[in-house]
């Protein structure tokens, strides 16, 4: 699933091609996304000019002069820049054509993504979200304060979008390893000092992933059609049973938490 770095990579990739451009046509080939694309969708956005692009959690927001297009990439969705010369492929569900000849094309084999037209700031997908992990609002003090009544595992705590957005499974594994914290420890049993380190490495791991283009997921490509490369530097995720690259003395343990794979070192993380 595309996570925060993948969505931010997409945003940065498409922004130079669409900001300031007027939408002159929209083609919807399949409306059957996670939430069906309404029949008025084309009419709502055709004629609008793209003012800016933003990201909130794992949602991409394309602001027009008359409202906002909210895009969720779901499990396998991607947005890429193309042109009319490139024929649509299977699972290319939506084309947004701009006056400069660029086409913003939405591709989604599993159709778990969605597109929504917003005419006001409030939306059910955005209203209950926690702070952005790269913002000043997110800190070790904030995590410590939020965790005091949380008896569940710390990994699930930092993956809760109401606590902090965008810390997906891969990045939670990596951040907890870098912070030396066992992912199955109760969130309320971790000290403020350790949360301060965890907040710092969450910022670090997400910033690094953004800079190199996100994680190489099977279905993910950025706005330029290329995959990310952060997976080449993963320390624990996907390496269950292999030797820890830090201590070289323990094989990485692998467990399941909330139906997600968790990998950690029994020596380095406590």
Contact partners, residue 247, CB within 8 Å, separation at least 6: 265, 267, 268
- Reference 216, options 265, 170, 264; nearest CA is 170
* 209 touches 230 (CB < 8 A): yes
Helix, strand or coil for residue 6? helix
- Residue 120 falls in the annotated catalytic set: no
- Residue 260 falls in the annotated catalytic set: yes
* 98 touches 21 (CB < 8 A): yes
Catalytic pick among 11, 58, 150, 155: 58
Contact partners, residue 175, CB within 8 Å, separation at least 6: 158, 167, 198, 201, 202, 205
Cβ neighbours of 119 (radius 10 Å): 8
Side by side, the strands of the sheet bearing 92-98 are 23-28, 92-98, 102-107, 78-83
DSSP of 132-194, one letter per residue?
Answer: -TTSTT--HHHHHHHHTT--SBHHHHHT-TTTSS---HHHHHHHHHHHT--TTSBGGGS-HHH
- Residue 3 falls in the annotated catalytic set: yes
Give first-to-last CA distance, the chain, whole Å.
28
| Residue 149: CA count within 13 A, CB half-sphere | 2
Q: Kindly list the catalytic residues.
A: 2-3, 58, 260
């Amino acid at each position: 699933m595309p996570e925060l770095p993948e969505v931010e990579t997409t945003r940065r990739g498409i922004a130079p091609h669409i900001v300031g451009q007027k939408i002159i046509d929209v083609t919807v080939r399949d409306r059957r996304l996670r939430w069906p694309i309404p029949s008025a969708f084309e009419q709502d956005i055709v004629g609008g000019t793209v003012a800016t692009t933003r990201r909130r959690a794992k949602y991409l927001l394309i602001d027009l002069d008359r409202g906002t297009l909210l895009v969720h990439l779901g499990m396998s969705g991607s947005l890429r820049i193309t042109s009319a010369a490139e024929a649509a492929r299977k699972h290319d569900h939506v084309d947004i054509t701009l006056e400069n000849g660029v086409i913003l094309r939405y591709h989604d084999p599993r159709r778990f993504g969605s597109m929504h037209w917003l005419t006001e700031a409030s939306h059910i997908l955005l209203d209950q979200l926690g702070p952005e992990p790269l913002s000043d609002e997110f800190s070790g003090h904030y995590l410590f304060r939020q965790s005091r009544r949380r008896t569940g595992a710390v990994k699930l705590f930092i993956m809760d979008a109401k606590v902090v957005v965008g810390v997906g499974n891969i990045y939670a594994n990596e951040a907890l390893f870098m912070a030396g914290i066992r992912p199955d420890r109760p969130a309320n049993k971790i000290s403020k000092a350790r949360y301060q380190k965890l907040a710092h490495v969450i910022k670090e791991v997400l910033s690094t992933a953004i800079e190199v283009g996100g994680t190489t997921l099977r279905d993910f490509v950025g706005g330029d059609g290329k995959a990310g490369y952060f997976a080449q530097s993963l320390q624990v995720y996907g390496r269950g049973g292999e030797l820890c690259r830090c201590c070289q003395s323990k094989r990485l343990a692998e467990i399941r938490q909330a139906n997600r794979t968790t990998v950690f070192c029994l020596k380095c993380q406590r």
